[in-house]
Copies of this chain bind each other. A is one copy, B any other.
Amino acid sequence: MTIESASRKLVKEFRSRRTLRTGSLITTVFGDSIAARGGTVWLGSLINLMSDFGIGERLVRTSVFRLVQDGWLQSSQIGRRSYYSLTDEGCERIAHATSKIYAEPTSDWDERWCLVLLAGLDASQKELVRKELGWLGFAALSSNMLAHPTPDEAALDAALRRLGSDELIIISGKTVRNALAMRNLAQDSWNLAEIDAAYAGFIKRFSPLITAYGKDANVLPKSAFMVRTLLIQEYRKVLLRDPLLPSELLPESWSGSAAYRLCRNLYRAVHAPADAYLSDILETVDGPLPPVSGEFMQRFGCLD
């Protein structure tokens, strides 16, 4: 199979899905492509771009309108044209997701656990904390305790500020015996099997593309853009649910590492022709998009 036919198959499968989340895909295009190239786009050119995925003008307009309502995007009218850019809040959300999605898996765990004690909270506060810290990958080891080995400190700080509870107790500590029992307890508390299966599904979907690319690196700019976008769309869906545990706490057969390598390698293969395609198709008020930011090249370790 050539990379062209593999990408056609990928897009076809994507278009055949019953629930096509256009808003989510546009968020991926903004987060993966547009944010690194100025962050603003003329709606007409975005409509052109999304038509590649079989998404019609009307659906793009509705989705963009919703993304404005949800605080992701803002619009400005210049002449007869509408331009959309990320809001400050949208930029922050993207930056936070970006710091995870394109990051190399770390393995420098100091064996310390971050424990969150909920004992002093009432039932509704507990529920709120469980939900908020659940987004950060914390698992409930028991009804009154959440834990994570390597929490995202900045995100935790922000979440705790939002929660604003004076009764919430955070303890940083190490096991002094039965480290293994703690690992087992923790592993049982996360839904690792489900996430592992999602990574395996991701690998299954994208491995034909990397195989095809290995045989013939000639990929058309348009296909490169579509592959890159669907790659990040699918990868981030799993990754942002992943508690990102240190490797010491993962099962031997964990698919996350293989999924990371596949995603990185395919991204390295397609990002440049994809950006060439974006330069052709997307427009700002000043003409084509500016070149990619310096930070962009640091994705997945390094894109060079």
Q: Are A176 and B185 interface neighbours, CB within 8 A?
A: no
Q: How far is the CA of A39 from the CA of B175 in the complex (A)?
A: 41
Q: How far is the CA of A4 from the CA of B168 in the complex (A)?
A: 56
Which B residues lie within 8 Å of A185 (CB)? Answer: 117, 119-120, 167, 169
A141 at the interface (CB under 8 A from B): yes
- Of A66-74, A129-137, A142-150, the one contacting chain B is A142-150
A171 at the interface (CB under 8 A from B): yes
Contact with B along A167-198 (1 / 0, CB 8 A): 11111111111101110110000000000000
Q: Which residues of A contact B (CB under 8 A)?
A: 112-115, 117-120, 141-145, 160, 166-178, 180-182, 184-185
Q: How far is the CA of A119 from the CA of B183 in the complex (A)?
A: 12
Chain B residue nearest in CB terms to A167: B181
Q: Are A175 and B182 interface neighbours, CB within 8 A?
A: no
Q: List 17 A-B contacts (CB under 8 A).
A: A114-B176, A115-B115, A115-B173, A117-B141, A117-B142, A117-B145, A120-B184, A120-B185, A142-B142, A142-B144, A142-B145, A166-B181, A168-B178, A169-B178, A169-B185, A171-B171, A173-B173
Q: Are B168 and A120 interface neighbours, CB within 8 A?
A: no
Give me the 8 closest cross-chain CB pairs, A-B, nearest first: A173-B173, A142-B144, A119-B142, A171-B173, A169-B182, A170-B176, A172-B176, A169-B181
